[in-house]
Amino acid sequence: MSQFAVQVLGASSAAPAHGRNQSAQLLLVNGRQYLIDCGEGTQHQFFRFKIRPFRLNHIFISHLHGDHYLGLVGLLSTLHLQKREHELTVYGPEGLEEIVAVNLKYSETELNFPIRFVVTDHTAPQELLRDDRLTIRSFPLSHRVPTTGFVFKEHPKPYRIIKEKLPENILLQEIALFKQGKDVLHEDGSVKYAAAEHTLPPKRSRQFAYCSDTRYLPEIVPHLSDTDLLYHEATFGVEMAARAAETFHSTAQEAAQIATQSGVRRLMIGHYSTRYRDLQPLLEEAQAVFPETQLALEGEITEIPEL
């Protein structure tokens, strides 16, 4: 079974509290790592959970509040000291490249590796990356500064070959047609081998969506369709709804409402206010609306199985 999983590295908002670090998550796809947000101390979490940051090639920063990006320069510095040489791409709001450049300038650091910045658009959906496994898109959120969410989706998968039904002398190019769901034809156009008799339907492509800091925003629902696991901030409980609205954050109940409206399969809530030592009330509040809710807990890996 191929891996498609999310590991939480930080789940606190604003400041570290109650043993919780600031926002960071790692999407793990068959040995590849995609880092989403990089709060202060994220590299410590890599070492704590025995993750090798050398495998990182793509980092996604949702917005320029410190609890989502202040760990970036430290991580880049460590990769430099470890003699990394291959390119790293960082996706984030306008201004992020300047922030990094100023830090490197005044520390007189010239990185050993090339770093490429891609500016995200906080006003419209945007395709950021299409590699051989995933398509990664951003979409606008509504916070106090320009902010985007991210969707990570596997490419369509091939039809599955029923090996025991393959004709004895079938050619490799004919098997390739089966993987596309196509019949193998004779030169006259008649069917030589029918794909339906030799294949099973493809496994479904998996999808993870990350909704960073945002007020309750039903407009994002279309971007979340067919999502297996949705991470949505839930900074406050419903008793703090007025505070959530004032600060452009969401309650656990509102995160669950977005999950319900989107038809996602599972919801993970996080970005907890420092006022909450006990997270159970937030979990229960969300589960009352959307039962398939879990807490973002640091170090835990949530596998999204192939179906």
pLDDT of residue 1: 63
> What domains lie within the chain, and their CATH numbers?
5-157+203-303 (3.60.15.10), 160-200 (no CATH)
* Confidence band of 175 (pLDDT split at 50, 70, 90): confident
pLDDT of residue 18: 95
β-pairing, 229-233 vs 207-211, is parallel
pLDDT at 267 exceeding the cut of 90: yes
| Mean pLDDT, residues 120-143 taken together | 97
How do residues 222-260 score in pLDDT, each as one tens digit?
999 999 999 999 999 999 999 999 999 999 999 999 999
63 CB-side CA count, 13 A: 20
DSSP 53: G
- Residue 43: burial class (beta carbons within 10 Å; 0-12, 13-18, 19+): buried
267 CB-side CA count, 13 A: 32
pLDDT of residue 200: 86
Please give the structure tokens belonging to residue 294: 């879990």
pLDDT of residue 181: 85
Torsion of the alpha carbons at 66, 104, 62 and 247, rounded to the nearest 10: 20
Catalytic residue among 37, 67, 213, 228: 67
| Mean pLDDT, residues 191-209 taken together | 89
pLDDT at 303 exceeding the cut of 90: yes
pLDDT of residue 204: 87
DSSP 22: B
| Mean pLDDT, residues 61-86 taken together | 96
| Mean pLDDT, residues 168-184 taken together | 87
Known catalytic residue at 37: no
